[in-house]
Amino acid sequence: MVVMWLTAMIPEARPCRHSSENCKSATTPQIIILLSCFALISIGGGGISCSLAFGADQLSQKNKTKNQRVLESFISWYIASQTIAVVFSLTGIVYIQDHFGWKLGFGVPAALMLFSTLSFFLISPRYVKHKPHTSLITGFAQVLFVACKNSKLSFPPKDSTANGVYHHGKDSTLMAPTDKLRFLNKACIIQDREQDIASDGSASNKWSLCTIEQVEELKAIIKVIPIWSTGIMVAVSTSQTSLWLLQAKTMNRHVTSNFQIPAGSFGVFMMFAVCITAGVYDRVILPLASKVRGKPVTVSAKRRIGIGLFFSILDFVTSAIVESIRRKKAIQEGYIDNPEAVLKMSAMWLIPHNVLCGIAEAFNAIGQSEFYYSEFPSSMSSIAASMFSLGSAVGSLVASLILSIVDNITSKGGKQSWVSDNINKGHYDNYYWLLAIMSAVNFLYYLVCCWAYGPSAEAASKKEERGNMVHDPQQEAM
C-alpha cells in the first residue's frame, strides 16, 4: 500500500502526471512499480488469510463444548468484521478517492495498514504461537508415494495394533489409522522395524514409511473435498456482480429527488446482509433458542452449509423473477434496442436478491470455515482457514466458464444470446433460472455428500460428551 501510495505522490511513477487528459503510455519502470504493488498485496493477503486459524489458536479451551461454542462465535464475528471492512472500502475509501484525490485515497489505506501492523507486533508477545511443522504438501506426496509403493502389501490383523505394526509420531495418541480410505493405511505399516525405524523412533526413510498422523491428514483433505465442492455454487452466486450492474443501470435508482444509489453500490446490501446475519445469529438467534429450550443450542456446521445452499437457490429464483419483470417492462416501454434507457421501475427490486445472496454467503462461509477447522487436525489449521477462500476463487472461475458456455450455446444459428450485451434483447432471466436449477441439483448433491461423509467430528464429540454425562458417577448419585 505504501508503494501504491507513492505512485500517487510521485508524478514520474505514473503515466498521467497531472490530469487524465495528458496521459502517455506507461513506461517499463512504471509498469514494474504497479505490478510490484499487486505482487506485494497478493503475498500479504496470502499471509493474512492465516489470521482465522491464528485467532482460533488463541481461543482454544480444554472443555470441548465451550471450545466449540467459542470457535463458532469467533468465526461468525471474523466473517462479520471482514464484511464491515469491505463495506467501508466500497463506500468510505471510494468517497475519499472520488472527492479528495488519489493521494489521500491511497494514503488512508496505507496508514490503516501501518496502524494494523504496529498493533499486531505490539501485542505479539502475548499471543499463543504454535511451532511450524514440516510441509504438509510434502507429507501428502510421501503418503501417496509409499501407499502406491506398498500396494501389494497385506493389511495386518486388526488385533495387531498393540504390537506396533503401524508407525506413529512421538507423543501420539493414535495407535492405528481409521478404516476409511483404507488403501492409504499401507503407507504407515512397519515391515522391518530394524530397517524402517531409526534409533530416535522416527522413520529411517520418510519416502518408505509415513506416520499415522500423515495418513490421517491426507484422509481429512480427501474426505472433505466433495462437501467443499458444493460451496462453489454459492461463490458463483456472489460472482454475478457485472450482471447486477447491467440491471441496476437500466432501473430507477433514485431514493429521493436529489439522491440516487450508484449502480455499482448495490453490492453493499449483500455485505450488510452478511454482517447482520452473522451478528444476529450469534447474539440473538442462538441465545434466544437456548433460553427457550433451557439448554445450550447450536447448529452444526453441516446444517449451516445446507442453509446457505438453500438461500443460494432462493437468490437465483428471485433474480430470475425480477429480471423477467424488468425485461417485460423494457419491451413495453419500447426500449428493446436501447439497453442504456432507464425504465420506470425502481432499482430497489434488486435489494431482495442481494439480501438473500448475503444470507447464503454468511451461513455458507461460517459453516464451511467451522466445518474444516473442526474436522482437520490442529496441524492443518491454516489449510482449514484457506479452504473457503479457495472455493470462492474456484467459484469465480466456474462462473466465467458457465457464462461463456451459455453464450456460445444460445447464440448458435445467429440467435440472440441469453447473455447478450443488450440486456433487453438477451434472456438473463433464463440464465438465472439455469443457475437456480444448477443450485437445486447442487443442494441434492450436498445431501448425498453429507450422508456419505457420515458423522462429523463435532457430532462425535457431542455424542461422547453425552455418554460421559450418562456414566458420570456424581450425576448418578444425584
> What are the distances in angstroms from CA 355 to CA 40, 246, 272, 279?
33, 18, 8, 15
Q: Provide the pLDDT for residue 405.
A: 94
Q: Name the stretches of the chain with pLDDT < 50.
A: 162, 469-478
What is the structure's pLDDT at 63? 54
Phi-psi region at 413: left, alpha or beta (left = phi > 0; alpha = psi -120 to 50):
left
- Quick one: pLDDT at residue 457? 64
* Residue 159: per-residue pLDDT: 62
What is the SS3 assignment for 23? strand
User: What's the confidence (pLDDT) of residue 140?
Assistant: 87
Question: Which pLDDT does position 272 carry in this prediction?
Answer: 87
What does the alpha-carbon distance between residue 56 and residue 366 come to, in Å, rounded to a whole number?
13
> What stretch(es) of the chain map to CATH 1.20.1250.20?
216-456
For residues 190 and 196, the answer to whether their CB atoms sit within 8 Å is yes
Q: CATH: 3.40.50.880, 1.20.1250.20, 1.10.1740.10, 1.10.10.60. Which one for 216-456?
A: 1.20.1250.20
| Residue 463 pLDDT | 52
Residue from 424, 391, 432, 427 nearest 411 by CA: 427
393-398 contacts at long range (C-beta below 8 A, 24 or more positions apart): 393/235, 394/232, 394/235, 395/231, 395/232, 395/233, 395/234, 395/235, 395/236, 395/238, 395/239, 396/235, 396/239, 398/232, 398/235, 398/236
pTM: predicted TM-score of the whole model, two decimal places: 0.78
Say if residues 102 and 8 touch (Cβ distance below 8 Å). yes
SS3 272: helix
> Which cell numbers in the block locate residue 37?
504493488
Return the SS3 of 75.
helix
Alpha helix stretches (DSSP H) within 189-255:
193-196, 212-230, 232-238, 241-249
Q: What is the DSSP letter of 337?
A: T
Tell me: the pLDDT tens digits for 401-419? 999 999 999 988 888 899 8
